[in-house]
Structure 1
Amino acid sequence: MTCFHCGEDCLDETVDFDNKTFCCEGCKTVYEILNQNELCNYYDIEKTPGITPPKDLSKKFEYLENSQVIEKLVDFKDDEISISVFYLPQIHCSSCIWLLENLYKLNPDIKSSRVNFLKKEIRLSFNHNILSLRKLVELLASIGYEPEINLENLSERKKQKIDRSLIFKLGVAGFCFGNIMLISLPEYFGLDMIKETHFANFFGYVNLILSLPILVYSSNSYFISAWNGIKRKVVNIDIPISLGILVLFLRSAFEIVSKTGAGYSDSLAGLVFFLLLGRIFQQKTYNILSFERDYKSYFPIATTKIETNGNEKNIPVSELNIGDIILIRNNELIPVDAELIEGNANIDNSFVTGESAPTRKNIGDKIYAGGKQVGQAIQLKVLKELSHSYLTQLWNNEAFSKEEQDQFEGITNSISKYFTIIILVIAFGSGLFWLQTDLKIAINTFTAVLIIACPCALALSAPFTFGNVLRVLGRNKFYLKNATVIENLAKINTIVFDKTGTITQSSNSDIKYYGEELNEETTNHLYSIFRQSSHPLSKMIFNGFVKAKILEIGKFNELVGKGIIAKIENKTYTIGSEQFVKKVNENSSKATRVHLKIDNNYLGYYQLENKYRINLKQTISLLLKWFKLKIISGDNDSEKENLVNYFGSESEFLFNQTPDNKLKYIKSLQDNGENVAMIGDGLNDAGALKQSNVGISISEDINTFSPACDAILEASVFEKLPTFIGYCRGSIRIIIVSFIISFLYNIVGLTFAVKGLLSPVFAAILMPLSSITVVVFVTLATNILAKHKNL
């Protein structure tokens, strides 16, 4: 009798409940929990999917009440929400994913739970005021998913290892394969006719016995996967493989038992051995790709470090050390865990939790990476060095992702949708054809077709191509969120540019002040106010100041697309557009101006002469060959004449646009069937970047990392944008060529297989070789294409 929950034999005890049998009280308890919370659909997805929970949890997790341990296990914590990631080695099927992502039904204080099946990890967001970390872990353990917690290695993210069970299965298959071949040597040398009959029969049974572990253990994952696919009415690639293995075993058993032949035990063993070898190879390469995306995605983020002499210096966040003091301005992302030492922190943690309500922090409070300061600048002391894996996780937060297909799947599924069905038709057709002539050839043909046409090579084309493209582009300072962005970039036909900070260079603008003379006090006030803002215009003006005195600001509010209201020493400063400051738009000049007012006294304005990016003319000329180009800006149309010289009169120009207008404009283009790439500075353009098919944020010397964007382009390589897009388009062509190679390989292999000229074991050797061929081809092709484009 087997347990309804876990499927294990009920050896020690039998517990009957609700007309079902359980092997222990633990399994019965899990069933009760699921039943009470209307989660018994868990058992419909997979038969006996559960894991027997530990017997005693009363004291096992006491250590999780220690504050120092909690600090190590929690990735993020605010007044209410904590976020932790746990490794759950028990995750093994779709039922596990379904149950774990419905944990909120078991406990409403669990806000969200997301499973990474490949890494067997779960990311949990929970209310720590009600549900402690210990209770959370105990809940996981009580339903059979006890986290593997190793406090010594928490700070070290290790590369995922190959599934150990796969290695054991390979070892069993290899042992049986070697011995079966040794026993079958007389056959290979044509000596089977002179063997003693009783020896031949004896060794035939030995081979059959050696085939059993291969069928029952080494190849069971193929049968399980095939059966799950059939239950869900999905024809997956493991169905033809399973059929081939089953046919070889049954035919071998028939020949050996009926004494009509030696069977195909060697072919069966060799087939499974090489299939498992190919699967290990594939798993290893997927893990390498995942590992490199987590730890080598060095985003071009800089932050302002305050040196011991008081000077402020922009440095890459990767160079931050524990104890460094950093300045975080309005709307800048906090890149590392840090302690607040100066200023009024108002932290927006929506990038982490999805909740946009800002949280107040006091001096001495810990502020977690991923938060965004809203208001005046603050100073922080670094507590933890940068974790690129954390930024990758933040960038891929589902709250800021578009509804897209899974990575690597789009282009593969569109071409290989009916591949397996066609192969099954060919296999059965050729098998039936040869059955009229020779049963042995029919068996060989049927099995060889199923194996030689396995679409593993087809499935590897896209991930290896895209993985290499991501690395090449990252090396050239163009950072893509994931592989889907490559496909989307290859499809765009319209590019929309923001103007300020995107096609203009904030570092090289000429700035002049016109109006009442500014005394020392006002200069210090303005210097302190502009220091708070991360807007490109504010940065330009701030950098133009001769160093002044930094004063404390009482109030600071930056209104997106309008300007700044700040209070300092009982004076209220209003800074921004003419409409915002003067409440009128006199159109006296079309130059870019930032107006100033103290209380009700208008002072004057800063006028900025924009400097366009180096080689902008050549860059735009190349893009005009492929795309429709648009300019959309919050500034007035003073630069229109110059822009026409760059973009041509055919391009569309929109000025005086609010962030909301920009988003609506992108949507209107998409409604007209355009595939749109939006290129902006990542601040005022966040909404438009998210709405577009591909949002590209330009990063200069400020912390402009934004989860709303799909790609980050370092400003210094802006002129390479046409090359980058061309490289993405070329990578799609490489995938198509690799598909053609894979199909040609299948056609040649099938030609020999249907003629009965290809043995199953030889087909099993060729299958992983075809995968290696495709991987080598796409890797070399993408590298050669990169070299051709000087990347």
Structure 2
Amino acid sequence: MENCFHCGDECKTVINHHNKSFCCNGCKTVFDILNDNDLSYYYDIEQSPGTTPFFKEGKFDFLENKEITSKLLEFNEQGTQVVSLLIPTIHCSSCIWVLENLNKLNPAIKTAQVNFPKKTVRITFSSEEITLKNLVVLLSKLGYEPYISLDDATKKSKKTDRSLIYKLGVAGFAFGNIMFLSFPEYFEVNEFWLDKFKSVFRWLMFAFALPVALYSGQDYFISAYKGLRSKILNIDVPIAIGISVLFIRSTIEIIFDYGTGFFDSMSGLVFFLLLGKFFQKKTYAFLSFERDYKSYFPIAVTRLIKINLTIKEEQAQVYELKKGDRILIRNEELLPVDAILIKGNALIDYSFVTGEAEPITKTSGEHLFAGGRQQAGSIEVEVLKPVEQSYLTQLWSNEIFSKNKQSHFQSLTDGISKRFTLSLLFIAFIATFVWLFIDSYIALNVFTSVLIVACPCAIALAAPFTLGNLLRIFGRNKLYIKNSAVIEQLAHIDTVVFDKTGTLTTNTKNTITYEGISLTEEEETLLTSTLRASNHPLSRSLYAILDKNNIQPLDTFKEDIGQGITGKINNQEIKVGSFGYVENKNEISQSKAQQRTAIHISNNNKYKGCYVFYNEYRDGVKEVFNTLKKNYNLVILSGDNDGEKEHLKKLLPKNTTLLFNQKPEDKLNYIKQQQQNGKNVLMLGDGLNDAGALAQSNVGFSISENVNIFSPACDGILDASKFKDIPNFLSLSNQGITIIKYAFIFSLIYNLIGLGFAITGHLKPVVAAILMPLSSISIVVFTTLATYYIGKKLLPKKT
């Protein structure tokens, strides 16, 4: 009987096509679609990876109803729609590959991102070229029919996958009982053991071990099989070998009454491996931004509240927003919720969602989607529904902002696994070959003993436990990191780049004085209204002083990043920004203007004066730089003039590079140049002017001081109050990676000890029962205590 080339099922009726066999026309059609669109590599990743497509014509006609589709869509603007679909048939790397290459099948599909654990695909597509119905039909014909529940159109229900808990429970229950039944063997209770219950106890141990091997440990066999089929020796291959040999040899021993076997070691091995996987899953769920938005995004929003007939502004956490709230969205701020535009000129950039940079204009009463960034001054909107935390999580991980950062220690673990497996098999065969000449009876025992004891379970546990603990420690100390790969990148940093305004300085302690022609009441109102729309730290500081003036909505607003802002009411135009931006030539010399930090003002192209800022630097700036200079190259890239250069030279170490008048693109290009010279760069900025530099750097952190700017381009958000702990965060990352290396060494020592017993033919069940669980337990305890110790030592105050 031939198997189908596409799905692997037996062909009851063989359809020959292109010298290949197919079980049905559906599989043949999918093959033709993939082959005609140069996607035949799909079959090279996995053998027979597809599923037989069963498509019923007219099944998805309900998707022609606009009311239904509007509830299913996450985003619908500018001819672009975004939808997340549950695909139950996703099962292997080939599925991921073909789904993420849907754009090659239909150009109307822009991007597709697969979430393999949740079996979902998030698709961005052009609604002008393909409808949601046709998209679903295309997926169905490929064998990836989405599961669409109309209940989910009104309420997103999350089904919890409890299979890991069930497997862990079975393994733990069996492990405890098998250990209990093994006590007579451990303590050599001969009379009790030999005379009455030896056979009963051994078969009971077999009964307990059977579901552990076939059910609890099945994921390791599946992963190892898929890895070998793809010609990859992953970490699960030696684990699967160890479980198999433990079970088979133990079964043979009790059948022929040779001994008790190693069922206790096998169940303990599976239990601790699953415990590590469970801990890792819980750690990342605990750290997930979906868990508690207020804990992991220190962004706020300006809420407008009515007090005694006057409108007041207050800073509110995003998670506090509820339907009906009025909020103020400033220029370059991100809309955290779906809302209705009430007041102002809305020019919304949805590139964070769609990748399309062209902004669109909205008028009062129109619907605005979460994820859009306002680009034309401030607007007032009314919240339609509370923030969808999972939506902003998707925005945070959008592939537009993802960087190809390979996890160094993930590849190290896989590299060790490959060498470990080859070395293990080599040792097993050599030892067996030698014992064949000494004692052929012991030779088989030695071969299985080597495979049993030299299992890399401790290696598999080291990185997840260590990095999971570190992520939690960072989060408790207000450094909110996107994922564990950032910690590994942080350990390789050799150059630290700082922005100045809003990063080294605080916008809450500036001293501001005005020099120039007094502003009229109308000009002050125009100035205040213009400043209100901007999110630049200096603008926010000045606005805090002037916000008592009557605020009017601007007719037009423009912000030139890194230069200044322009606002217009009626026929009055005001420019606020750098000296060069307001283009004054008469009232003040340019050289004098560039000697200090100031906001210059002109009204209808007539220079009025400037607000001079005397910066307050954050507490601990000098100490931070003095600590970092020992191990890192230090750089300051500032968009301001060099008026404070001499002051900074006195404040900072001599080897600090100071560069002023840096435009956003200058900062990005400087970091790119450093990387081309072999440097690994950490960038710390305010998240607005520095978005490009944050994205370009190896690691980018945005400093948050309750400013309403959210930058998906960064790798983490650091609370400004923890600025002085930057050296400790870097040191903690380095020491965390050192802990993983030590855990690898300890695992190697355990394996060498076990191999000593195995090669000499002295591996007894009690030795395996002690060594194998002990190695796993000790690695878990070591990584947990070590990370707790270094966290307590470097970041002693829990906040």
Same fold (TM over 0.5): yes
In the TM superposition, what is the alpha-carbon distance from 1:361 to its structure 2 partner?
A: 2.2
One-letter code aligned to 1:27 = C
Separation of aligned partners in 2, 1:376 and 1:683: 15
Q: 1:695 aligns with which of 697, 700, 703?
A: 700
Is it true that 1:571 corresponds to 2:572 in the alignment?
A: yes
8 Å CA contact 1:727–1:785 kept in 2: the answer is yes
Aligned to 1:606: 611
Aligned to 1:716: 721
SS in 2 for 1:50: coil
**Cα distance change, pair 630–293 in 1 and its aligned pair in 2 (3 A):** same
Match of 1:727 in 2: 732
What does 1:257-656 align with in structure 2 at a 5 Å threshold?
A: 261-262=256-257, 267=261, 273-274=267-268, 276-294=270-288, 295-296=291-292, 298-309=296-307, 310-406=311-407, 409-413=410-414, 418-582=419-583, 586-589=590-593, 590-656=595-661
State the distance in 1 between where 2:69 and 2:96 align.
Answer: 25
Match of 1:40, SS state, is: coil
Q: What is aligned with 1:52?
A: 52
C-alpha distance in 2, partners of 1:745/1:471? 29
Q: In structure 1, list runs of 5 or more residues that go unmatched.
A: none
* Per-residue deviation, 1:445: 2.5
Relative to structure 1, is the Cα distance of residues 354 and 204 closer, same or farther in structure 2, using a 3 angstrom cutoff?
same
Note the C-alpha offset of 1:526: 0.8
AA in 1 matched with 2:101: N
Determine if contact 1:341/1:379 at 8 Å carries over to the other structure. yes
**Deviation at residue 363 of structure 1 after TM alignment:** 2.4
In structure 1, C-alpha distance between the alignment counterparts of 2:98 and 2:169, rounded to whole Å: 28
Q: Distance in 1 between matches of 2:266 and 2:144?
A: 31
Whole-Å separation in 2 of the counterparts to 1:53 and 1:270: 44
Whether the 8 Å contact between 2:492 and 2:680 is mirrored in structure 1 is: yes
Question: What is the CA–CA distance in structure 1 between the aligned matches of 2:285 and 2:16, rounded to whole Å?
Answer: 45
After superposition, give the CA deviation of every residue in 1:481-515 in whole Å (9 maximum; x if it has no partner): 21122122222222222111111111111112222
2:251·2:261 contact (CA, 8 Å) conserved in 1? no
Contact 1:57 1:138 in 2 (8 A): no
Q: CA deviation at 1:402?
A: 2.0
Q: Give how far 1:560 is off.
A: 1.1
Closer, same or farther in 2 for the Cα pair 1:783/1:270, shift >3 Å?
Answer: closer
Change (3 A) 1:273 1:193: closer
Distance 1:509 1:733 in 2: 42
CA distance in 1: counterparts of 2:215 and 2:654, whole angstroms: 70
1:293-341 Cα deviation digits (max 9, x unpaired): 3224611101111112310111221222222111111111112222222
Report SS of the residue matched to 2:504.
coil
Question: Deviation per CA, 1:714-761, whole angstroms, max 9, x where unpaired?
Answer: 112212222222222221222222222222222222222222222579
- On the 8 A contact 1:240/1:424 being kept in 2, the answer is no
The answer for the alignment partner of 1:119 in structure 2 is 118
Match of 2:143 in 1: 144
Displacement of 1:704: 2.1
Amino acid at match of 2:405: E
Q: Which moved more, 1:766-775 or 1:548-557?
A: 766-775
Q: Which moved more, 1:705-714 or 1:77-86?
A: 77-86
Name the structure 1 match of 2:127.
Answer: 128
Note closer, same or farther for the CA distance 1:209–1:710 as it changes in structure 2 (3 Å cut): closer
Residues 528-548 of structure 1: per-residue CA shift (max 9 Å, x gap)? 111010111111111111511
Equivalent position to 1:774, from 779, 785, 797: 779
User: Compared with structure 1, are the counterparts of its residues 20 and 762 closer, same or farther at alpha carbon in structure 2 (3 Å cutoff)?
Assistant: farther
1:527 Cα deviation (Å)?
0.8
| Cα distance change on mapping 1:273 and 1:66 into 2, 3 Å | farther
* Cα deviation code 1:377-415 (max 9, x no counterpart): 111212232333333322222221222114851453465
Structure 1 position 610, deviation (Å): 0.8
Quick check: 1:452–1:764 contact (8 Å CA) kept in 2? no
Structure 2: tracts of 5 or more residues without a match: none
Segment of structure 1 superposing worse, 284-293 or 461-470: 284-293
- Out of 80-89 and 309-318, give the one that drifted further: 80-89
After TM superposition, the structure 1 = structure 2 runs for residues 676-691 of structure 1, keeping only pairs within 5 Å, are 676-691=681-696
Deviations 1:119-158 (A, max 9, x none): 3222211223333333323332333323344454643445
What letter is aligned with 2:132? L
1:400 alignment partner, SS class: coil
Q: Deviation at 1:67?
A: 4.3
- 1:754-765 matches, within 5 Å, as 754-759=759-764, 763=768
Q: Name the counterpart of 2:72.
A: 73
Give the C-alpha shift of residue 667 in structure 1.
2.3
CA distance in structure 2 between the aligned counterparts of 1:223 and 1:475, rounded to whole angstroms: 37
More deviation, 280-289/488-497: 280-289
Give 3-state SS (helix, strand or coil) of 1:33's partner.
helix
Residue in structure 2 matched with residue 8 of structure 1 by the alignment: 9
- Contact 1:493/1:676 (<8 A) preserved: yes
Provide the residue aligned with 2:90 in structure 1. Answer: 91
**2:232 and 2:452 mapped to 1: Cα distance?**
19
Alignment: residue pair count: 778
| Residue 96 to residue 484, structure 1, CA distance change in 2 (3 Å) | same
TM-score by length of 2: 0.87
TM-aligned CA distance change 1:611 to 1:245, over 3 Å: closer
Confirm whether residue 104 of structure 1 aligns to residue 98 of structure 2.
Answer: no
CA contact (8 A) 1:451 1:767 kept: no
**Structure 2 Cα separation of the partners of residues 455 and 373 of structure 1:** 52
Q: Is the 8 A contact 1:159 1:287 kept in 2?
A: no
Deviation at 1:684, TM superposition (A): 0.9
Q: Which moved more, 1:553-562 or 1:136-145?
A: 136-145
Moved more, 213-222 or 279-288: 213-222
Deviations 1:349-368 (A, max 9, x none): 22222222212223233222
Distance in 2 between residues matched to 1:472 and 1:536, nearest whole Å: 29
- The question of whether the paired residues in 1 share the 8 Å contact of 2:265 and 2:773 is answered with no
Q: Verify the 8 A CA contact 2:170 2:211 in the aligned structure 1.
A: no
Other-structure match for 2:43: 43
CA distance in 2, matches of 1:245, 1:9: 30
Q: Secondary structure at the match of 2:405?
A: coil
Q: What pairs with 1:184-203 in structure 2 (closer than 5 Å)?
A: none
Q: Is the 8 A contact 2:171 2:271 kept in 1?
A: yes
Q: Is the 8 A contact 1:86 1:147 kept in 2?
A: yes
Identical counterparts, % of pairs = 47
Is this contact kept in 2: 1:695–1:710, CA < 8 A?
A: yes
Q: Structure 1 residues 64 and 262 mapped into 2: Cα distance closer, same or farther (>3 Å)?
A: farther
Letter in 2 for 1:300: P
Q: Contact 2:480–2:718 (CA<8 Å) still a contact in 1?
A: yes
> Could you tell me the TM-score, scaled by structure 1's length?
0.88
Aligned-partner SS, 1:550: coil
SS at match of 2:562: coil
Aligned CA-pair RMSD: 3.8
2:232 maps to what in 1?
Answer: 234
Name whichever of 331-340 and 133-142 sits farther off. 133-142
